Amino acid sequence: MKWLTGKAKAPADGLARVQSWMAVFFGEAHVTRPTDEAALVDALGTRPYSCIGQSHSYNGIQVIPGITAFHMGEARFDHLTYDPATGTATCGPSVKVLTLKQALVKHGRRMLNSGNYMEQTVIGALSGGTHGYGPEPVIAQAVTALTFLDGYGQKVTLTPTDPDFPYAALSFGTIGPILSVTLRTAPVASYQSDAWVTRLSKKAALAKGAMAVSTAIVPYSDPKDPLIMLHTLRPASKGKGPRKTTAPLLSLAGLTEFLLRRLWAFDRLFPSLRYRLQRAANRINPRTHRRVITAPDDLDYLYDPEPLLKTQRAPDLLTGFFATTFTAYNLAFFVPLHRSDEVVRFLMLEAERLRPLGFVLKSLIGVRELPEKSDLPFAGNFAGPVAAIDLFADVRDYAWLERLQRAVTSYFPGVRPHWGKSAIVEDFAGSLGQQHIAALRALHLKHYPPGTLTPNEAVRKLFDLGAPAAQSAIAKATA
């Protein structure tokens, strides 16, 4: 009755379906929402277990059938404190990114970076390698301490001086339950947010000197010089106010720009016109520029520079029904930054080649730049600056995205996985490095004897963590 009362009925513990975002991966597990630490420790002993945050990963990394699934995101580990002396925040596994941001802004603070959706748990987001773009782009880079339970129910706390720390801080279900994390924060600030509709060839000049750069590519425009929506952030400086250079709405260019900005809705209403609209936009070749100075207390300034949250402006129903967030499968991976333009061209050409087979990419190709290296071995940017490439498709078409991922990993060295959005396959072993795979495996085995914490099957295979879990299809088929 959520639609009538606005309140969802609290889900009951027991055997239930667990599934990934957009429900492409699913299975039955014994879902448990422990009320406190003692209940959690008690439940550890009963059968193999795993943890779920808010189930916002697309690739099923949170889905392990047949075992106990600790639904940490729906449990009551919601402690959240801010320490003004160190500028750090400490929170539990039920705390969502939105809740953390709302609490921080009251202290004039913000998260260092974040993804473009705030309903994930903070711990699920950092475990899955969630990132934004610009400085310190991967959320787990901000972690200064974390505490988890080992397979015997003992608490283990790690800080950056511990050699195990960088592995545990971004460990996608191989360490857990994580009970608490401490994160660095930064003072709130205003930014100059510039958005252009332009061509890829103009990006370098327009983005020069920006602290954060993200691009959305119109996938069926000209691969030689794609039509793009470019977005940059710079610290707000005196004398620079909002600005708008757009074509009048009633002109062809104005209408095209309007449609491009609302491609997510148009795409849903008229999917058969998806390709033709983009070809038309490519011919019309619109050019626009908007500048907004973001409000210091705006929680989603990275993705939506207008004041307030998108959900506070548009009726929820409209966003829920049309937005790419709720209608598309999203697959992502990281490519070396200096090759991102080539990868985009390759993806555009490959997508065009697949069109006669009935596949059309949905929405735009996202390219967020992570310009700094991270010390966390399983972060996208561990080996150096990268671009996070986001691809979208209708849910029934998700497997085509895996084919595109495979094509990119086979032609471009150094492609790294997004733990919540890539297809986790052995193609990534080379770029992750055998020594780091061995180190995480050793850390997992040190804390978790067989029959306790059980990561997702794809992770178990990549990290050689023993036979497939008993309830997996492969275990059943080969029993």
Interacting residues toward ligand FAD by CB under 6 A: 21, 50-57, 61-62, 72-73, 93, 115-117, 120-121, 123-125, 127-128, 130-131, 172-173, 176-178, 325, 418, 420-421
> What's the 3-state SS for 157-189?
EECCCCCCHHHHCCCCCCCCCEEEEEEEEEECC
Q: State which residue, 326 or 411, has the beta carbon closest to ligand FAD.
A: 326
Question: Judging by beta carbons within 10 Å of its beta carbon (0-12, 13-18, 19+), is residue 476 exposed, middle or buried?
Answer: exposed
Write the DSSP assignment of 104-117 as a string of letters.
HHTTTEEES---S-
CB of 123 to ligand FAD, least distance (A): 4
Q: State which residue, 176 or 223, has the beta carbon closest to ligand FAD.
A: 176
CB of 251 to ligand FAD, least distance (A): 33
β-strands 416-417, 365-370 pairing: unpaired
Residue 471 region by backbone torsions, left for phi larger than 0, else alpha for psi between -120 and 50, else beta: alpha
Q: State which residue, 178 or 281, has the beta carbon closest to ligand FAD.
A: 178
CB of 358 to ligand FAD, least distance (A): 25
Contact 236, 331 (CB under 8 A): no
Contact 181, 139 (CB under 8 A): no
Q: State which residue, 34 or 286, has the beta carbon closest to ligand FAD.
A: 34
CB of 391 to ligand FAD, least distance (A): 13
Please report, in angstroms and rounded to a whole number, the separation of the first and last CA atoms in the chain.
Answer: 43
CB of 388 to ligand FAD, least distance (A): 7
Q: State which residue, 293 or 323, has the beta carbon closest to ligand FAD.
A: 323
Give the count of alpha carbons within 13 A of 468, CB side only: 13
CB of 276 to ligand FAD, least distance (A): 27
Q: State which residue, 124 or 219, has the beta carbon closest to ligand FAD.
A: 124
Contact 363, 324 (CB under 8 A): yes
Q: State which residue, 325 or 374, has the beta carbon closest to ligand FAD.
A: 325
CB of 286 to ligand FAD, least distance (A): 26
Residue 320 region by backbone torsions, left for phi larger than 0, else alpha for psi between -120 and 50, else beta: alpha
What the block records as the tokens of 77 is: 């580990």
